[in-house]
Amino acid sequence: METTKLPPSSPSSPTTGFLVPSAEKVDGFPRRSMRRARQRRSHSSSQFRYQSSQVELTPLPLLKDAPVAELHDLFCKKLQQCCVMFDFLDCVADLKGKEIKRAALNELVESVATSRGVLIEPLYPEAIKMISVNIFRTLPPSENPEFDPEEDEPTLEASWPHLQLVYEFFLRFLESLDFQPSMAKRYVDQKFVLQLLELFDSEDPREREYLKTILHRVYGKLLGLRAYIRKQINNIFLRFIYETEHFNGVAELLEILGSIINGFALPLKSEHKQFLVRVLIPLHTARSLSIFHAQLAYCVVQFMEKDATVTEYIIRGLLKYWPKTCTQKEVMFLGEIEEILDVIEPSQFIRIQEPLFKQIAACISSPHFQVAERALYFWNNEYILSLIEENCRVILPLVFATLYRVSKEHWNQTIVSLIYNVLKTFMEMNSKLFDDLTASYKVEKQKELKRERERTELWRGLEEHQERRMQMLTDAARNQRNLQERDKMSSSTCHTVLLNTGVHMPLLGLGTDKLVSPDIVHQAVDAALAAGYRAFDSATVYQNESALGQALKKLLPKYGLTREDVFITSKLGPKDQGERAKEAALRSLAQLDLSYIDLYLIHWPGTQNRSVSDQRNSGNRAQSWATLEELHAQGTLKAIGVSNYTPAHMRELMQSCKVPPALLQVEFHPQLCQDELRSVCKEYGVCFQAYSSLGRGELLHGPVVLEVAKNCGRSPAQVLLRWAVQQGVPVLPKSSNPDRIRENAEIFDFSISDSDMDRLSALECSHRYCWDPSQVV
């Protein structure tokens, strides 16, 4: 026979009292217009059920003042009165009716909790009807599909001032000494329980807390519903795992299950074991595991304490679903494994020690220090340490190589110290085995180094052979490529600007700022090449040079292109100004995996961690430029230039440089026309290039831009880009969306009228959306 009890941490009731402040004194129903970001939001899931316009409530006599003969009839009338629903989205509507219902509910709660003989058989259907009318409703869809319980405030139920009292009444009803399960089971049936379980998806944590306690009371008092409740919870979890991956009440249902499992009779039924293997273990795959992991681990450990034979199913199941990329989940899994090992039987430990410690060894070698640290903490647990000592001859060979290697290579000194302690412990357990494994590891290491040298020599020979072969084909391939180039280039890449180095640079390039993930960079480059882009703009501070280089290496052959068909720009970061400029430029070259960079710019006239008024900024700029000139002379940088320079910076550079800059890249759009700077560039023969042509998206919604876009039959983004290129200014729109990348390339098959060009230029107001270099000395 099953018995149930709540876990020690579970409260017996969500509340300590049952009186709620008057609705006239506390405004519990704030208007939606008054909400602010990250404040608790309210909704009403019963907004289409209220009946206050049809029924006007009038106060009834108090229960405590009613004659005994009329008490039950008055109690029934108050239950019926509480079936009237109100619209809580309107905080000033039906205040009198809301207050009457609130007072009636408070009376009912107090009466059930403190009086004997109130619950007679005729009141059961009326009580259950009142509860059903108030709590059962269709829950609204989430207002925030990407809701994160750890970061965002939950959406609260607007009708909670009444709903809380209904739940409190239900709880006191179930806990009353007068409660008769034989009477209640006629009304609290399977349909009622199913509707009750559906409410666990409420976003309001207060409601879920009440539901948790109430469902546990139902499970404990109505024995005939136990199997049905377990079955429906099973169905909710299966739907959560394999279909929706969304259900707000998983943690609460697991907490109930923890107490149910504690009461399972032995031996465990097949039904219970299947629930463990098919439901509880797969629950570990949920992306939202952190929300309910503590309750889930408690349930798993309860199963083990009930029946040790399920240990192997649990461990192998966890190893099957072990996280591959999420370190947060990996730390949680390790914590759960330790809880399991705390109660494992030695005979069961022997059955799972080999696969388990292979996984622990993999965790120890993780570059994420929290994962490695959590795995090494197993050796601080006395019981686990005793199990390891008893099985040292099996476990030590599994983890020794990992421990030895990581102790020499791990970047975190805390991990290294913990590993030394573990190795010392193993040495004290079995010194002979430890010495044998040390000698064996060193021999294997030498063999591995020898194989590595042989592999390196083999690859070197293959590379030399390939270089000789490629050299024979280079001239013919270059001639053929030049003949096919015009056919391969799309209309957007036929438009170029001539730099002062004699090189033609495309007027349109893809900006890559904020594109960091290798997958996103690959997708963007793929879409850009398909749309005809042949110029790509990167920088050290973008942290995507490596991803861009790898993407181009993989994708150029797909479109029949080679390195010479694309124009690559990168930039020297502010932190590398001065003496570190050469190292930084060569690092960019290596990250991009290129033999040369088409254009390399000084990204910012200042130096990181140095005031804009620091006089040393000028010296750093000069030193950096001299380094770029040196690399330009060597052919490593085909062209050099600057970014975010002011007219004063440009004149300063032109007075001291040996090689004039080929290009200046600055913020440029209709609200920042940079007339003086363009005149300086024209004076010195420097190409003027624009970034942030869309004003970080703000300009797309301006009325003038929208009207010109309508006149041209194009999008606002296309109009803003065309405004620049129609003046001969190259542009670098950035996007990771393939459709927008393609749309941004379609700017060479239309033109803007002179009057509309003037209207756009008239938007000039010297407004910047990006860096302001004017203060840098």
H or E segment and range at residue 397: helix 392-409
Residue with tokens 């991009």: 592
* Distance from C-alpha of 119 to C-alpha of 112, rounded to nearest angstrom: 8
Tokens of 331: 């730390």
**Tally of CB atoms within 10 A around 621:** 25
Nearest-angstrom CA–CA distance, 539 and 512: 8
Residues 6+ apart with CB under 8 A from 486: 494
d(CA 533, CA 527): 9
Based on its alpha-carbon atoms, the radius of gyration of the chain, rounded to whole angstroms, reads: 36
Structure tokens at 465: 């052979």
Helices 250-262 and 205-221 cross at an angle (nearest 10°) of: 30
> Could you tell me the maximum CA-CA distance found in the chain, to the nearest angstrom?
112
| No. of helices (H) and no. of strands (E), the chain | 29, 11
Pick from 261, 252, 198, 185: nearest CA to 225: 185
Q: Could you tell me if 108 and 119 are in contact, meaning their C-beta atoms sit under 8 angstroms apart?
A: no
Q: Are strands 504-506 and 496-498 parallel, antiparallel or unpaired?
A: antiparallel
Residue (of 661, 679, 673, 589) closest to 624 by Cα position: 661
Residue the block writes with tokens 């996007």: 735
Q: In Å, how far from its chain's centre is CA 358?
A: 29
- C-alpha span between 213 and 5 (Å, rounded): 11
Contacts of 459 (CB under 8 A, 6+ apart): none
Amino acid present at 339: E
Residue 205: asked if its preceding bond is cis (omega within 30°), the reply is no
Based on the residue annotation, tell me whether 313 is a catalytic residue of this protein: no
Within 569-646, where are the H helices? 581-592, 616-634
Residue with tokens 């207060």: 206
Tokens 């756009």, located at residue: 760
d(C-alpha 15, C-alpha 298), whole Å: 24
Q: Position 251: which residue type?
A: A
User: Residue 588 and residue 548: Cα distance in Å, rounded?
Assistant: 11
DSSP state, residue 40: P
C-alpha 715, offset from chain centre: 32
Task: List C-alpha distances in Å: 744 to 14, 518, 751, 757.
Answer: 57, 22, 14, 18
Contact 536, 504 (CB under 8 A): no
From 261, 270, 245, select the one nearest 304 (Cα to Cα).
261
How far apart, in whole angstroms, are the C-alpha atoms of residue 331 and residue 363? 9
529's tokens? 């090449």
Taking the C-alpha atoms of residue 571 and residue 9, their distance in angstroms, rounded to an integer, is: 57
The structure tokens 């999420």 sit at 326
Q: Which residue has the tokens 């040495």?
A: 427
- Residue 104 DSSP class: H
Choose, from 298, 542, 600, 691, the residue flagged as catalytic.
Answer: 542
Residue keyed to tokens 């009228």 = 753
> In this structure, how many other beta carbons lie within 10 angstroms of the beta carbon of residue 692?
24
- How many Å apart are CA 273 and CA 300, to the nearest integer? 11
The Cβ of residue 208 has, within 10 Å, a number of other Cβ atoms equal to 21
Q: Which amino acids are annotated catalytic?
A: 542
